[in-house]
Amino acid sequence: MININIKKTLHGVNGPMNLDIDLSIKQGEFIALTGPSGSGKTTLLRVLAGLEVAEGEIEVNKSFWLKNNKSIKAKKRSIGFMHQENALFPNMSILQNLLFVINDLELALRLLSLAGLTELQDRYPKTLSGGQKQRVSLCRAMMRKPDILLLDEPLSALDAKMRTQLQSKILALHKEFNTTTIMVSHEPSEIYKLSTRTIILDNGHIIKDGKTQEVLLKSQGSQKFSFEGELLELKEADVIIIAIVAIGQQIVEIVVSKKEALDLQVGQTVIVGTKAFAPTILCPSR
């Protein structure tokens, strides 16, 4: 169980802003932290990691990381942290990057093989692609078998294909190590795939907190539209099937018949449009 109750004054682009967070997190949850830029997401993550100070309390598994202005240092917190990019030690090989954390060769090799990096273990970070670097970064974050895994927009610098690959690695490691994960992300499809709970921050405050599906699925008016999106899931509900589609920054539910669903595949790009009141869903190739 993690209890967070912190306050901090930030100096953002729009003048001073109060970050005021009161939050309880259960062991093993995968939380997506989202909201407009400058809303305090990264700061919250950094406060949790001990990289920035704040007032209040942070309690993790019955020990206090922050209480009465006494903060234990970043190095003493059981944290795995993944930066957006460029956080590998350039002077060390991939394997050395992991072993620098804890000299546990067995764990390092296991993580590298889980991430599909075994063959690259003796290479240096400079020679890796962006996606490979982030996979190494993820493995390194897991070396301490952390209580909390913090991911600060870990995939935002990668292209779509790399992102999909890495998303599954993140989920695999999260489950394998039964860690509690908090991820900052702007990508609804990513949030939908990975997280069980979504928290939306705005101006330093939590404005929405709930199950990912409930937070992301907004009801829409019935104006005429036609948008391209990614098909995330096909859910069977009695005689009909509900298609979950990510369109831009939004996730929508669309009812399709079983016959229509036969032509659809999860992961496919589809066009969502409406002719009258009920939206129809089409494959762009047809």
Partner 1 sequence: MFEPFYISFKLASITVLILFLISLPLSWYLSQTQSKIKPFIEALTALPIVLPPSVLGFYILVALSQNSPLGTFFKDTFDISLVFNFTSLVIASCFYSLPFMVQPLQSGFESLNKNILEASYLCGKSKLQTILFVALPNIKPALITAIIITFAHTVGEFGVVLMVGGSIPGETKVASVAIYEMVEIMDYKGAHIYSAIMLGMSFIVLLSVYTFNAKHKRKFGL
Q: To the nearest whole angstrom, how small is the minimum distance from the Cβ of residue 154 to partner 1?
A: 12
105 binds partner 1 (CB under 8 A): no
* Helix %, strand %, coil % of the chain (to 5): 30, 35, 35
Out of 12, 23, 38, 144, the only residue in the binding site for partner 1 (CB under 8 A) is 144
Pairing of strands 197-202, 205-211: antiparallel
User: Is the CB of 63 or the CB of 265 nearer to partner 1?
Assistant: 63
Q: Does 225 bind partner 1 (CB under 8 A)?
A: no
- What character string, x for contact with partner 1 (CB under 8 A) and - otherwise, covers 60-99? -------------xxxx--xxx-x-xxxxxxx--------
In this complex, which beta carbon is closest to partner 1, that of residue 16 or of residue 90?
90
Instruction: Decide if residue 191 touches partner 1 (CB under 8 A).
Output: no
For partner 1, the closer CB: 25 or 98: 98
Cβ pair 253, 217 in contact under 8 A:
yes
Q: Shortest distance, CB of residue 173 to partner 1, whole angstroms?
A: 16
Verify binding: residue 30, partner 1, rule CB under 8 A: no
Alpha helices (runs of H) in 128-246, residue ranges in sequence order = 130-142, 160-176, 188-194, 212-216
# of chain residues touching partner 1 (CB under 8 A): 27
Q: Which of 164, 100, 103, 104 is nearest to 137 (CA)?
A: 100
Near partner 1 by CB under 8 A, which window of 49-57, 170-178, 213-221, 262-270? 49-57
CB neighbourhood size of 103 (10 A): 10
- Residue reference for tokens 């240096």: 124
CA 191 – CA 108 distance, rounded (Å): 28
Contacts of 130 (CB under 8 A, 6+ apart): 85, 157, 158, 162
Smallest distance, Å, CB 171 to partner 1? 22
**Closest residue by Cα to residue 197 from 11, 1, 32, 87:** 32
41 close to 33: Cβ distance less than 8 angstroms: yes
- Using the minimum distance from each CB to partner 1, give the nearer residue, 81 or 192: 81
From the list 93, 104, 121, 124, which residue makes contact with partner 1 (rule: CB under 8 A)?
124
Nearest approach in angstroms of CB 31 to partner 1 is: 19
Nearer to partner 1, 67 or 76 (CB): 76
In 3D space, the residue among 198, 269, 258 whose CA is nearest the CA of residue 234 turns out to be 258
Site of interaction with partner 1 (CB under 8 A): 49-51, 73-76, 79-81, 83, 85-91, 100-102, 124, 126, 140-141, 143-144
